[in-house]
Structure 1
Amino acid sequence: MTQDTNYDSFAEAYSAENETSLINGYYERPAMIKLAGDVRSRQILDAGCGSGPLAKALCDLGATVTGFDSSKAMIDLARKRLGEGAQLLVADLGQPLPFADDSFDDVVASLVFHYLEDWLGSLNEIRRVLRPGGRLIMSVNHPILYPWTNPGADYFKPTKYSDDHTFNGQLATLTYWHRPLQAMTEAFTKAGFQIEVVSEPPFSADAPAEIIPPQFEGRKSFLSFIFFVLRAQ
């Protein structure tokens, strides 16, 4: 995907953090797996697969998964996780995808689209490689986050912004695009998708108590991402 964030520089640290963190291991990834449902014998494209934790989980559930990411370091880590026979390649979601029309039953895009300024071109490419009636299952930064963390910001104005994060002890800067919910849904419909599910899920009940921040005690949910299941028309 065309983005300002260079994951090659902190791929191993991000991957290690992703395994067991509350926000990834016990919130985002379980929610994506639940939305995917029964994936036995389905051909799935993992767009922006990172080091492959979601792809591995879907393979374990019986799917055949092809993955791509713009970061070579992430693809190298994914290959170690999934094996040399895995269908993995370096590709950019912001460019034409190297797959034939109607190649996949589902596409999963986990925390990918919020790096992109233009959604429509990428959604059109995903629609092209999906079989008729196929699904796009995706998660992105919740649109309420940017105005929450930047008081006075205009919720309705698409805005590029950066946040500093620490992954497994390594500092990294991630650069995103904020867009309001209406802009998201308009892009979906223009690209030929029907919205089937909009989800703001709880985190997993399996999350260890020691990784739950004190402010979340007694709560089952928090807002960090928003999830969609879209059907190709």
Structure 2
Amino acid sequence: MRADHYDTFARSYAETNESGLFNAHYARPAMLRLAGDVEGHRVLDAGCGTGPLFEDLRARGATVTGFDGSPAMVELARERLGPGADLQVADLGAPLPYADDTFDDAVVSLVLHYLQDWSAPLAELHRVLRPGGRLLLSVNHPRILEASDPEADYFAVTPYSDVYTFGDGHDVTLTFWHRPLHAMSDAFADAGFRIRVISEPPFDPDTPRELLPPDLGDRTAFICFLFFVLEAE
């Protein structure tokens, strides 16, 4: 899927995810916990969207640079972050406009699962990270494919689509690429990364109960996203 596909529903996406379960109460808190102390770090927010993670990392003392393939998303990020924020439109599937060894950390939150080929994006992220730098990323959990198509082949790299309805009633079809876990780890290794952490985190404990799946019961976690912390070798 082209990143600028988001231009057609950028504001609906931003408004829904500002307080929605999957971003505000799950993906962002989990990513921030994995990032830990980033004060003084040079951080790249790759696929920054409208900038909420950029904002949180900056508030924790990081010097943050962000890009997104959607011009509309970048414009909304500028509204959020102010004119001085280091933001630009760029494509993760193409050479990135940054010098080698520029960043201490890169965060790639819920982006790679839109891409069939991970080799070029991971190579570019490795290039712009300093040796020993961290790549923190989250993707759809590979078990999600079962919910979309119970007959699908788990071991194949294959596309699947879901229809999302945003808070304003806007419906949009998003297409993702399923990867089995071993294909993810192979891609990381091929790009020169070492896996330091694999995480299947709980949702934020302060999540309003009405946002949670009604059949969750007393469980504090559910299958949704898979998180990694990688080290650039």
Name the Cα RMSD after superposition. Answer: 1.1
Aligned: 1:212 with 2:212: yes
> d(CA) in 2 for partners of 1:132 and 1:4?
29
> d(CA) in 2 for partners of 1:231 and 1:155?
27
1:183 corresponds to: 183
Percent identity among equivalent residues? Answer: 58
2:155 alignment partner AA: F
- SS at structure 2 position matched to 1:219: coil
> d(CA) in 2 for partners of 1:215 and 1:65?
39
Aligned: 1:52 with 2:26: no
1:34 corresponds to: 33
Residue 62 of structure 1, CA deviation = 0.6
Residue 134 of structure 1, CA deviation = 0.2
Contact 2:156–2:180 at 8 Å: present in 1 too?
yes
In the superposition, the TM-score normalised over structure 2's length comes to: 0.97
1:73 corresponds to: 72
Residue 179 of structure 1, CA deviation = 1.0
> d(CA) in 1 for partners of 2:72 and 2:151?
38
1:164 corresponds to: 163
2:119 corresponds to: 120
Residue 28 of structure 1, CA deviation = 0.7
> d(CA) in 2 for partners of 1:115 and 1:213?
25
2:89 corresponds to: 90
Tell me the alpha carbon deviations over residues 59-81 of structure 1, each in whole angstroms, 9 at most, x when there is no partner: 01110110000000000000011
Contact 2:3–2:68 at 8 Å: present in 1 too?
no
Residue 5 of structure 1, CA deviation = 7.1
Alignment gaps of 5+ in structure 1: none
Contact 2:69–2:91 at 8 Å: present in 1 too?
yes
2:175 alignment partner AA: T
Contact 2:43–2:103 at 8 Å: present in 1 too?
yes
- SS at structure 2 position matched to 1:196: strand
> d(CA) in 2 for partners of 1:114 and 1:218?
30
Contact 1:130–1:232 at 8 Å: present in 2 too?
yes
- SS at structure 2 position matched to 1:143: coil
Contact 2:148–2:160 at 8 Å: present in 1 too?
no
Residue 151 of structure 1, CA deviation = 1.0
The alignment of Structure 1 onto Structure 2 pairs a total of residues equal to 232
In the superposition, the TM-score normalised over structure 1's length comes to: 0.97
Contact 1:4–1:175 at 8 Å: present in 2 too?
no
Contact 1:139–1:227 at 8 Å: present in 2 too?
yes
Alignment gaps of 5+ in structure 2: none
Residue 217 of structure 1, CA deviation = 2.7
Contact 2:3–2:69 at 8 Å: present in 1 too?
no
Residue 3 of structure 1, CA deviation = 3.1
- SS at structure 2 position matched to 1:160: strand
Residue 149 of structure 1, CA deviation = 2.6
- SS at structure 2 position matched to 1:135: strand
> d(CA) in 1 for partners of 2:112 and 2:151?
24
